Structure formats: structure tokens, C-alpha cells
Amino acid sequence: MHTVLTRGNAILAYSLSVLACLTFACFLSTVFLDYRTNAKLNSVKVLVKNVADYSASREKHDLGFITFDLHTDLTSLFNWNVKELFLYLTAEYQTENNELNQVVLWDKILLRGENAVLDFKNMNTKYYFWDDGNGLKGHKNVTLTLSWNIIPNAGLLPRIFAIGEHSFKFPDSYTVTPV
């Protein structure tokens, strides 16, 4: 006859195998869903300053200031396998020094059960919009995009881009008044 420990080990191993199979089946039930939705972005106020960097060299670099409007409804993204969404707004542009510049300007964490309809007006950026040189003044094509990561109960951590983006330009002169 088998001992109590042998029987307990068999029951535990079987239970863990069943749980692993159920978790994988749950993952498969949501992996092919489309998690994209529309987002309306607009830049309200756009300024650029030329200020000393915080580094030891104290070189002057461009610092952009943006206020933006954001409207999107993310309620359709939440299902039983979504714990939270990590939203972030990025600005993308091209300069002579860099083929692609991406700067995260704002982020937010939305938990399941929170209001997922976002309607923000005249929002300030959460993070500084520094350029590594003087590439913002007079730049004609900066694109704002909203993206999110889905934090699931089981499965992958996809990076999703919203449908819709907004392009704007920086002014041709530096702002000297306080923002």
C-alpha cells in the first residue's frame, strides 16, 4: 500500500497539472481578442523654451510644454482576464541627430472597476519633454499617440496602440515668459 505522503504527493501533482491546464485554457479564451479602440487627441497649447540641462555641462536644450485634450472609452477592453491597463501618451518626432525620438509625456494606471471613460481637457504633461539638442523649435511634425499595456490574470503582456493620433508643430521662436 502507498503511504499518506505518497498519496498526498499524487493528489497535489494532479491538482497542479489541472490548474495549469485551466490557466492555459483561460489564456487562450482571450488571446485573440482585439484590444484596440478609438482615441481622440488634440494639442491645446504648445510652447518651446531653450533652457540649461540638469547635467554638469549645463548645455542649453529645447524643452517643450504641451497641454492636450484626450477622449477615449476603454470599457470594452476590460474582461475577466484584464486586471489593469497601463496607459501612456508618447510624442514621436524625427531630428537630424536621431531617426526616431520617442518621449513619454503622460501615463495613468486604470484598475478594473474604475471609470474607463477618459475625457480630459487642457491636461498638462506629467513628464518633461526634453530634446537632446535644439530639435523642437520650429519642428513641423510631432505626433502624439496613446498606447497601453494590458496586465492580465494569465497570459501575455501586449502593447496596444490606440486608433487615432494627432500631429502638431512647435512654434518657430522660443517662449521667454514663464509657463
Residue 51 vs residues 60, 64, 80, 141: alpha-carbon distances, Å: 5, 10, 48, 22
Query: pLDDT tens digits for 42-68?
Result: 999 999 998 887 766 678 888 899 999
Sign of the Cα pseudo-torsion (16, 18, 20, 22, in order): negative
Question: Per DSSP, which regions of the chain are E strands?
Answer: 39-52, 60-73, 82-93, 101-111, 117-124, 129-130, 142-152, 159-168
DSSP bridge pairs for 48: 64
Cβ(81)–Cβ(153) below 8 Å? yes
- Give the pLDDT score at 72: 96
Cα 140 from Cα 70, distance rounded (Å):
21
Kindly report the pTM of this predicted structure: 0.84
Cα 30 from Cα 78, distance rounded (Å):
11
Q: Where are the alpha helices (DSSP H) in the chain?
A: 4-30
pLDDT tens per residue across all 179 residues of the chain: 679 999 999 999 999 999 999 888 888 888 888 899 999 999 999 999 988 877 666 788 888 999 999 999 999 999 988 999 999 999 999 988 889 999 999 999 999 999 999 999 999 999 999 888 888 888 899 999 999 999 998 888 889 999 999 999 999 888 876 55
- Give the pLDDT score at 163: 94
Sign of the Cα pseudo-torsion (72, 75, 76, 77, in order): positive
- Give the pLDDT score at 25: 87
Q: What is the DSSP letter of 147?
A: E
- Give the pLDDT score at 56: 60
Cα 135 from Cα 50, distance rounded (Å):
10
Residue 1 vs residues 5, 8, 10, 15, 166: alpha-carbon distances, Å: 12, 13, 14, 22, 72
